[in-house]
């Protein structure tokens, strides 16, 4: 596996940690900016919307650049936003900072995943993507709790300064550890990049990703109240359970990465079927502590861990270039928004089990978007992405 893939994972880790940091420090940020906790919640939404809408725009602006300079520009934009957050004098400045970092993060993901596809041999591209996406999983497992500890002990601004230092380190490692590559064929042609979006198979693959993430986040967003109010766990136990959930995502991501290259569509179908089962079991048995934990860990194993297979399928349906990967990140972010927002509405209307049932419904619809692709893949061999690898 090229060492540069691990360097890219470090950059993703830094940006995911920045995405989640506000969620772990909502009371402190609210007090520091003299706003309400719901207003701080809007900062999380702003980051997600900026990723979904602004990421493809920024990616289009760096398409004519070689991959490594593009990554350094995106690091610079991200650092500017993160420094703005660390020194924010008021809520409006913090909102702008979150939008800037969200846009930069989405574009970075797109360029980094595209670069992974070029760096790795075709037969191990799924594994390379899994290594890079472990930056996302570790951001949930380690980045969120560590930034929360820093913020609680030294103030919420210190957490943003720590993320800034981490991003600087990741940028330096990128400058040293990522090779300078030329553009891929047609890599700077915006119209050629847009041509991929005329393919119905790509839109079907993108919709599957939205549904997988939506199903998972409808449950993940509300694990804390579900585990305390329905499953009967003490508040102090929930962080340990969330760490176990994060560990399950790392294990699942690694396993899916090893299978994604040869069996992407089958893995997605199996993951959706299993997630449907775990979400349904969680909804039915949330009042029982042991089954609830088993179901939660199951969701961790087969939820966001589908990312390597999702990315492989999208690249095969479209291409492995930055714009397709960034738009894919936007569809993934749309799933986060649908799951968390829809789950909140479901709780208001039907109680804490409702987001679990919503997740099960989204997983069921997701299955319907994969079955046609499975039939096609059985009739014809799957083509790999166009770009040739540049190192082993």
Predicted confidence pLDDT, tens digits, the chain (392 residues): 778 889 999 999 999 888 878 877 877 888 899 988 778 878 887 888 898 888 888 988 887 888 889 999 999 999 999 999 999 999 999 999 999 999 999 899 888 888 887 887 777 777 787 888 878 778 777 777 788 788 888 999 999 999 999 999 999 999 998 888 766 544 556 676 788 888 999 999 999 999 999 999 899 878 888 998 999 998 788 878 888 888 898 899 889 988 988 889 999 999 999 999 999 999 999 999 999 999 999 999 999 999 999 989 998 898 878 888 889 988 998 998 898 888 888 888 899 999 999 999 999 999 999 998 876 655 544 444 444 344 43
Does residue 213 share a domain with residue 169?
no
Q: What is the pLDDT of residue 146?
A: 82
Characterize 20-54 residue by residue with b for buried, 16 or more Cβ atoms within 10 angstroms of its Cβ, and e for exposed. bbbbbbbebbbebbebeeebbbbbbebbbbbbbbb
Does residue 206 share a domain with residue 88?
no
Tell me how far apart the alpha carbons of residues 254 and 133 are, in angstroms, rounded to a whole number. Answer: 9
**Token pair of 5 as six digits:** 């893939």
Q: What is the pLDDT of residue 258?
A: 87
Q: What is the pLDDT of residue 261?
A: 81
Q: Looking at 181, 208, 230, which one is the last position of a domain?
A: 181
- Owning domain of residue 224: 189-383
Does residue 330 share a domain with residue 203?
yes
Query: 189-194, long-range: CB within 8 Å, 24+ apart, which pairs?
Result: 189/63, 190/60, 190/63, 190/323, 193/60, 193/63, 193/319, 193/321, 193/322, 193/323, 193/324, 194/323
CA separation, residue 367 to residues 30, 42, 308, 371 (Å)? 40, 32, 17, 6
Q: Looking at 146, 181, 216, which one is the last position of a domain?
A: 181
- Widest distance between CA atoms in the chain: 60
CA separation, residue 155 to residues 88, 146, 158 (Å)? 13, 13, 5
Does residue 355 belong to any structural domain of this protein?
yes
Does residue 213 share a domain with residue 81?
no
C-alpha angle 84-10-301 in degrees, rounded to nearest 5: 110
Contact indicator for 213, 304 with CB cutoff of 8 Å: yes
Does residue 162 share a domain with residue 31?
yes
Q: Specify the DSSP class assigned to residue 186.
A: T
Does residue 111 belong to any structural domain of this protein?
yes
C-alpha neighbours within 13 Å on the C-beta side of residue 73: 15
Q: Specify the DSSP class assigned to residue 199.
A: -
Does residue 391 belong to any structural domain of this protein?
no
Q: What is the pLDDT of residue 172?
A: 95
Does residue 275 share a domain with residue 163?
no
Q: What is the pLDDT of residue 205?
A: 95
Contact indicator for 104, 74 with CB cutoff of 8 Å: yes
Tell me how far apart the alpha carbons of residues 358 and 356 are, in angstroms, rounded to a whole number. Answer: 5
3-class DSSP string for 96-116 = HHHHHHHHHHHHHHHHHHHHH
User: What pTM was computed for the model?
Assistant: 0.80
Domain count within the chain: 2
Does residue 135 share a domain with residue 207?
no
């Amino acid at each position: 596996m090229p060492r540069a893939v691990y360097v890219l994972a470090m950059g993703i880790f830094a940006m995911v940690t920045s995405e989640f940091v506000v969620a772990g420090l909502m009371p402190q940020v609210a007090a520091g900016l003299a706003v309400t906790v719901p207003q701080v919640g809007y900062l999380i939404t702003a980051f997600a919307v900026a990723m979904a809408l602004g990421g493809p725009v920024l990616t289009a602006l760096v398409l004519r650049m070689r991959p490594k300079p593009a990554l350094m520009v995106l690091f610079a934009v991200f650092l500017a936003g993160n420094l703005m957050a660390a020194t924010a004098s008021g809520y409006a400045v913090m909102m702008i900072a979150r939008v800037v970092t969200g846009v930069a993060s989405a574009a970075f993901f797109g360029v980094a995943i595209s670069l992974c596809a070029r760096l790795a041999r075709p037969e191990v591209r799924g594994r390379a993507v899994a290594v890079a996406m472990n930056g996302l999983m570790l951001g949930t497992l380690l980045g969120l709790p560590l930034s929360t500890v820093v913020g609680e002990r030294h103030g919420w601004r210190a957490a943003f300064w720590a993320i800034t230092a981490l991003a600087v380190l990741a940028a330096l490692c990128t400058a040293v550890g990522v090779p300078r590559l030329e553009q891929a064929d047609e890599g700077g042609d915006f119209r050629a990049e847009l041509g991929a979006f005329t393919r119905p198979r790509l839109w079907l693959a993108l919709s599957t990703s939205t549904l997988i993430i939506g199903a998972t986040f409808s449950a993940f967003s509300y694990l804390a109240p579900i585990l305390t109010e329905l499953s009967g766990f003490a508040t102090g136990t929930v962080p340990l359970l969330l760490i176990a959930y994060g560990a399950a995502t790392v294990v699942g991501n690694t396993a899916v990465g090893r299978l994604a290259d040869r069996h992407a569509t089958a893995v997605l179908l199996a993951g959706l079927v299993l997630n449907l089962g775990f979400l349904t079991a969680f909804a039915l048995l949330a009042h029982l502590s042991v089954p609830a934990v088993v179901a939660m860990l199951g969701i961790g194993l087969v939820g966001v861990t589908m990312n390597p297979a999702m990315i492989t399928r999208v690249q095969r349906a479209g291409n492995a270039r930055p714009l397709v990967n960034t738009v894919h990140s936007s569809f993934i972010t749309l799933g986060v928004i649908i799951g968390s927002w829809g789950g909140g509405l479901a709780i208001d209307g039907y109680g804490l089990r409702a987001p679990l049932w919503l997740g099960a419904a989204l997983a069921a619809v997701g299955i319907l978007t994969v079955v046609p692709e499975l039939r096609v893949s059985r009739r014809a061999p799957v083509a790999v992405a166009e770009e040739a690898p540049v190192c082993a």
